[in-house]
Amino acid sequence: MIKGFEEFQKVGKDGFDAYVRSFGEMNKGFQAIAAEFTDYSKKAFEDSTKAFEQLAGAKSIEQAIEIQSQFAKKAYDGYMAEMTKIGEMYAGLAKDAYKPMEAAMAKKAA
């Protein structure tokens, strides 16, 4: 009976350790994603400011439309690339956070 209790305690400790490692991986992943969003936001703001300055200096309506079109295309392409990257980061975060749990389950099954 004591052996069964000790085994139960070990399984509980292993599960808790896996949870803590998983939480640590999630925390690192969320920090990386937040840093990526911050960098993207700064760049997008700088690009918007630059486009506004160019629009303010436009000599004609045609030039203003061209500046706006270029900015819109660049902003859209940048946004799509960034969202793809963030999506990949979330997928990687999920995989990394699950690894400690997967290892604990494999250990428990063996």
Task: State mean pLDDT over 82-101.
Answer: 91
- In three-state secondary structure terms, 31 is helix
Residue 49 lies in a domain: yes
Residue 18 lies in a domain: yes
Query: How many structural domains does the chain have?
Result: 1
Residue 4 lies in a domain: no
User: Any idea what the Cα angle at residue 90 is, between residues 104 and 77, rounded to 5°?
Assistant: 160
Whether 31 and 93 have beta carbons less than 8 Å apart is answered as no
Query: For residue range 27-36, what is the model confidence (pLDDT) as tens digits?
Result: 999 999 999 9
Listed in sequence order, the residues at least 6 apart from 79 whose beta carbon sits closer than 8 Å to its beta carbon are 44
Q: Report the distance separating Cα 94 and Cα 69, nearest Å.
A: 38
Query: For residue range 37-82, what is the model confidence (pLDDT) as tens digits?
Result: 999 999 999 999 999 999 999 999 999 999 999 999 999 999 999 9
The parent domain of residue 56 ranges over 12-109
Residue 96 lies in a domain: yes
